[in-house]
Amino acid sequence: MTRDRRPTRLRTLALASALSVAGALPAPAVAQALGRQVTPRAAAPSVAQTTSVRSQYVVHCAGCHGVDGAGAPEGQVPDMRQLGQLLRLEGGRAFVVSVPGVMGSGLSDQQVAEVTNWILATLAKGSAPPDFRPYDADEVRLARATPLVDVAAARARLVPRTQAPGAAPE
């Protein structure tokens, strides 16, 4: 007895559904595989578009800096709660959005600006200078266009200056 190898409607549906769930076949293709009419709809916003700025911090930054922004002991991972102190120093503002963690975060320039502004308004509240102006996507794009060559040296020049008299917030 030979078995019929032609795909049945049920097998087609199962295969199309599995490929759709795996991301290999878009959902409209599943409907088409079943011979159904596909009506185009407006694309739903992506998860990235609907994720809050705090969530972006948690996903892209908190793994190293901690949910509270405290970083790691002995300066191995910077304390984000004092981030605004860097903005008081010449070159500090660009440094903040040029570090490797920001450059390789996977966030867009706009998202980096939003997350950095959120950090300064929440975790680092009170550490930014009184004349602080929020970051925007263009500033982040320009900073990212000229990556830091020696991050450790740049950080070594800036961080001690944040502890100098007059550098800390009042």
Averaged over 28-52, what is the pLDDT? 48
Per-residue confidence (pLDDT) for residue 94, from 0 to 100:
92
Asked whether the predicted pLDDT for residue 65 surpasses 80, the reply is yes
Averaged over 15-19, what is the pLDDT? 46
Per-residue confidence (pLDDT) for residue 169, from 0 to 100:
41
Find all residues with CB under 8 Å of 85, minimum gap 6, and list them: 92, 127, 162, 167, 168, 169
What is the C-alpha to C-alpha distance for residues 18 and 48, in angstroms, rounded to an integer? Answer: 24
Asked whether the predicted pLDDT for residue 102 surpasses 70, the reply is yes
Averaged over 80-103, what is the pLDDT? 91
The CATH number given to 47-162 is 1.10.760.10
Per-residue confidence (pLDDT) for residue 134, from 0 to 100:
96
Find all residues with CB under 8 Å of 65, minimum gap 6, and list them: 71, 77, 78, 79, 80
Better pLDDT: 155 or 80:
80
Q: What is the reported pTM?
A: 0.64
Please give the structure tokens belonging to residue 161. 């200056």
Residues 104-135 pLDDT 10s? 889 999 999 999 999 999 999 999 999 999 99
Averaged over 87-96, what is the pLDDT? 91
**Radius of gyration in angstroms for the set of CA atoms belonging to the chain, rounded to a whole number:** 24
Per-residue confidence (pLDDT) for residue 18, from 0 to 100:
46
What are the extents of the domains in the chain? 8-37, 47-162
Residue type, 98: S
